[in-house]
Amino acid sequence: MPPTSPARLVVLVSGAGTNLQALLDACADPAYGARVVAVGADRDDIEGLERAERAGVPTFVKKVGQFSSRDHWDRALADTVAGFDPDLVVLAGFMKLVGEEFLGRFGGSVVNTHPALSPSFPGMHGPGDALEYGVKVTGCTLFVVDAGVDTGPILAQSVVAVEDDDTVEALHERIKVAERAMLVDTVGRMAREGFVVDGRRVRFGRTSS
Ligand SMILES: Nc1nc2c(c(=O)[nH]1)N[C@@H](CN(C=O)c1ccc(C(=O)N[C@@H](CCC(=O)O)C(=O)O)cc1)CN2
Ligand SMILES: NCC(=O)N[C@@H]1O[C@H](COP(=O)([O-])[O-])[C@@H](O)[C@H]1O
């Protein structure tokens, strides 16, 4: 039986928020099976927060510098996210590593979109690192977040060709087109079908076989 109420998404952002926008647009269709109940950020004055406000979605900001330690920030972020009772937390261009407390609360239900084909080129500079290495294809990866940096079990990947005259910006923009489609498709499936993490393998559906 499909769930009767839409899955509750909390989305965390640090920048332009075009991936967030793709989710907001998809959620406008009741058949999508999810809705964005809150958007959080680690900084002010970003387009991602403005997109949420324009959509009438509650926002919050938790800056690391407002707290006496990284662990206190992590706990405050987790407490605030928990207040929105999420089924899924989506890190969509969120440029902070979430820690033990956060993962202890939501682990297994936190996903991150990354602009490279994992396990290659983890970290903050996926498109630039791929270009510098000279790969001919790169892309994007959606994965279930764990304590490592871009090491979690993979939900979906999409391939993007590297052009001879690419710049980091041009390549990243093409990756982001693929990334938005991957994110919307996969989060929708997770919401409608459920998913099971079995070691490094992820299967869609609610049963174990
Ligand atoms: N526990 C995890 N947290 C996050 C993951 C993850 O895989 N595990 N993915 C990231 C996103 N990410 C790239 O994919 C990433 C983001 C940020 C950093 C990082 O070193 N950030 C610095 C601060 C930099 C800044 O504020 O501009 C930091 O956290 O101190 C590495 C990888 C989302 N979180
Ligand atoms: N390591 C994390 C990372 O590089 N994240 C990347 O930042 C971009 C955010 O775009 P957006 O703000 O327009 O959604 C996306 O490409 C996302 O994968």
**pLDDT tens-digit map of 14-31:** 999 999 999 999 999 999
Which ligand is closest to the CA of 153, given by its number?
Answer: 1
CATH 3.40.50.170 fits 7-204, yes or no: yes
Pairing of strands 154-161, 137-144: antiparallel
Residue 203 among known ligand-binding residues: no
pLDDT of residue 132: 98
Q: Is 59 annotated as a binding residue?
A: no
* pLDDT for residue 209 is more than 80: no
Closest ligand 1 atom number to CA of residue 143 = 7
- 115 pLDDT higher than 80: yes
> What confidence category does residue 1 fall into, taking pLDDT thresholds of 50, 70 and 90?
very low
Q: Give the pLDDT confidence of 185-198 residue by residue, as tens digits.
A: 999 999 999 999 99
| Rounded Cα–Cα distance for residues 88 and 198 (Å) | 18
Residue 107 has pLDDT above 90, yes or no: no
Is the interface score ipTM higher than 0.85? yes
Give the Cα separation of 15 and 124 in Å (integer): 13
Torsions phi, psi for 66 (to 5 deg) = -80, -10
In DSSP terms, which residues pair with 91 in a beta bridge? 12, 112
pTM given for the model: 0.96
Return mean pLDDT, the chain.
96
Give me ligand 1 centre to Cα 140, in Å.
16
* pLDDT given at position 3: 55
Helix ranges (H only) for 29-167 are: 47-54, 70-82, 100-106, 126-133
Mean pLDDT calculated for residue range 83-98:
98
> Residue 206 — pLDDT band, cuts 50, 70, 90?
confident
pLDDT at residue 155 above 50?
yes
pLDDT (0 to 100) of residue 17:
98
How does residue 208 score in pLDDT terms, banded at 50, 70 and 90? low
Residue nearest to atom 6 of ligand 2 (CA): 93
